Amino acid sequence: MKDNFKDNGILISLENIGLSHNEAAVYLACLGIAQPTVLQISNSSGVKRASVYAVLNSLIQKGLVFVKIAGMKKFYKAEHPEKLTKMFDLERELFSKKLPQLVEMYTHYGDEQVISHHQGLTAVKHVYADILSMLKPGDYYYVISNIKGWQGLDEEFFMGHVEERSHMGIDTKLLFQDSDVTQRRIRMQQLYNEKIRVLPKETVLDIDIAITPYRIVMLQLSGKVSAIVMSNQSIISAQKQMFEIMWNDRKDVQA
């Protein structure tokens, strides 16, 4: 392999996007020689001649190398490097179509007993972004919260979360500790496609609890911000039922 390929990291870059070491070396050898034979490819790439044939066949199947016949001789030519981008764009597109199935498998089977702890506001924001990414139209999103404390952590981010949630076609029910922010949210509940009921006046919360079919998030609002995330389906089912009991005990609030 030519030293300049090694020095500028091209070989490593090709490996990083999914080619094996031998595939990357052989592709670069084909790219750097006018009419490369198997022997020349072997000498340039450092791949043993006996192995070059198999590697070339793999690259041909991937559309990165083609065979050129000149007279009685056979040469192996590299496709234009732009083909690499197109090839991996296609792989990404194909993978993205399978991603929902993988997410569903992970959600239902991958972490049934997981309890995770997330510290700091940045980590907590990722938690709330993740729970939205899992939801589908028709799912539920239930909350018990000191909404004034929740929004106050980062007004722009959390109201952005509410705005995004409002367009997802999910069943959003919110039990809030009473406050001026709660009253403001009540006036806006139709705008955000949510239903709000107010907890008894003596209720004092220092937490936000979000319950979805896939996660429970318990966010501590005072002191060092941190969240516990649970994905056990038995716990989720129990919390959902407890929420519904509390919800049915409270009255609708009109704006």
What are the strands, taking DSSP E only, across the chain? Answer: 65-70, 73-78, 115-119, 140-145, 171-176, 195-198, 207-211, 216-220, 226-230
Give the length of the chain: 255
User: In the chain, what are the domains?
Assistant: 3-79 (1.10.10.10), 112-249 (3.30.870.10)
pLDDT at 101: 73
pLDDT at 87: 72
Contacts of 49 (CB under 8 A, 6+ apart): 38, 39, 42
pLDDT at 4: 43
pLDDT at 7: 45
pLDDT tens readout for residues 179-237 = 999 999 999 999 999 999 999 999 999 999 999 999 999 999 988 999 999 988 899 99
In which residue ranges of the chain is pLDDT below 50? 1-4, 6-7
pLDDT at 3: 46
Q: What is the pTM of this model?
A: 0.57
CA distance 217 to 154: 17
Q: Which residue has the tokens 């589908």?
A: 136
pLDDT at 250: 86
Picking from 15, 41, 18, 30, the residue whose alpha carbon sits closest to that of residue 65 is: 30
